[in-house]
Structure 1
Amino acid sequence: VGAFRNPIPRTLFSEFDPIMGERLSSGIVRYKVGLFLDRNTASKAKNKIRDLGYSDAFVVRYVDGQRTGLNENTVDNPSPASIKKDEEEDDTFSSNSSSSVRNLEFDPENPTAYYDSYESAAPATQVEMVNGLFYTVQVGVFSKPVTSENIFDISPLNSDLMKNGLIKYSSGIFDDIAVAEQWKQSIRDKGVTDAFVTAYYNGERISLDRASSMLSNSGDGVLADLDEMDELHSDRQGQAVWEMVSTSELFAEEVRDQIQFKIRMGPYIEKIPDKDVKVILDFENNVEYGRREDGAIVYTTKGNMTYEEAQKWRQTFIESGITNANIIALQAGEEISVKQALDFLLK
């Protein structure tokens, strides 16, 4: 039913019993549900689990503690294409689902009641209240509203009460699928490795193909109205359920947090000038040694700084005699141009 690189909350799979974890050599923990003595029973359980929202659940077979194929050379593992199809299709629900043990019900007269009754629940926008089309990133399915810490402190969140009484959580409200895809990667980096993009229209989940078709046929007029979302936020007495004001702000904020500036001195192809050595030694607690692939030596300041701080540090090094001191920019540890970094920060 899932695989995670980081520790997960104990309540993440609370609707399943028994639940087992298997740590792989890569450090990832793979979670499995149930112990079945025949494949037919396991397949029936798999279908019910998919109905609960775990669209990529599949059956595996173990013999004496070792995973083997279900047949001689096959494993009941859906192809990437079939997983994508499951993710994009509307949810269907089995009449034999576990809804009989759920006590959450949707009240059309009070669409947020099922969520508001849990005081400790993570702030979330109820998709049933959102008119129009939007894209979002699904992050999990739970048996009841959960706290922020139980969902990796992901924000902003949306909740969707499913027909079987479970709550489907997603993050973000976007009018551009490309931005949603970028946000999906950010969510996966937080530990939700199976997060995926989906779409809603007037509170109902729809396929990505249908969303694309609606935009092609009807244009931007079919999209969710952000001004209406602000009014919804006000009507709910200041609850922090709506935290986005544009399609790209959320991703841009994530990018801004990843931008770093440093000072790089060099490259030194051969001997480092004595005057530069003296300055570097004076600042040895603030710089670190590095060597490029071509063998050239560079020195880079430690820690992170703002662009304004970087400008001051560069001037200090230049005044000290190191004329090849330059500002560099990094995003999530990868070097980018200073112009790109400044453009991100100005968005």
Structure 2
Amino acid sequence: MNNYKTIGCMILAFLLVVTGCSNNAENTAQVDDKLISDPNKVFIGFLLDTLQEERWYKDKELFEGEVDKLGGRVKTLAANGLDDVQFKQAELLIEEGVDVLVVVPHDAEVSAAIVDLAHEAGVKVISYDRLIKNAQVDYYVSFDNVKVGELQAAEIVKNKSVGQFAYIGGAESDNNAVLFRQGAMNVLQPLIDNGDIRLVFDQYTDGWDPAIAEQNMVQALKANGNQIDAVVAANDGTAGGVINALSTVGLAGKIPVSGQDAELAGVQRVVEGTQTMTIYKSINQLAAQAAEMAVKVAKGEDIATDGAVNNGEVDVPSILLAPIAVTKDNVRETVIKDGYLKEEEVYKK
């Protein structure tokens, strides 16, 4: 049964192709052929881990739009959390003649094989938002993910600086989740060391699945007699799961909970008071930066970076953008002002 499911997902993922070239299949095929054969055009492959989370639709649309403005074309494929599908999609795009692969890896380690495959074909790889580990990645564009974790924990500590804390992380297979926790612990560890905080639960969340995050939070509550004073949750999805669990014991809105990604549901919870904060990472800025880099790489132009991040094998030339903490007090000045979310959506007008 699992084999049939995997095959079905692969077929679905292969069908999930977005070129930004045309609204009908016949014209798309014609334009793709022209792109591959025309050395004056750039053809970029965009490999997404998933389109099962709200934020990645925004990345897809923004990245494709930015590449289009720069005169390139994009084919986007989403693996929906399946490593074997993502590798097959990379093979497909390389066979079709992409100049560059921009990859949001599902598994930071497993995705190293995509880099090897691309380099064998002379195709460079840009790691988008999430870093591919232990591979000769050419470039990395993301946010300062250690800073994300620091902002999350700092905002929670502003609201509650003593007591029993729980950490509900992301997927350990995602290097960003490891960095978020590292940043959070930069803030929490001194308070743990002096006895102000007890970290009574510390668990990653498989697949960033909100349902698993909820189960983890239920476990944390049971193990501590519902005596949890604050929760650092790695993103808005895990925060949603945490808040569901807290609501069953009457604690939703009574203890601080962090989040990240500024998803609509997360920002709505922030203004309602059940979630303390989220992190706004300007996807407009990320997509624009990645698109500009991809087009320049495809053309063989020089790339200006602001540092390097070690991925276990090499120091990857990187551009790291600044994250912003969003609370009830600055929603209008951040996500709404930038046009990322609409005021009537956030405030349910």
TM range (shorter): under 0.3
- Of structures 1 and 2, the one with the larger relative CO (CA 8 A, separation 6+) is 2
TM-score by length of 2: 0.24
Q: Please identify which structure carries the higher strand content.
A: 1
Q: Decide which structure has greater helix share.
A: 2
- TM-score relative to the length of structure 1: 0.24
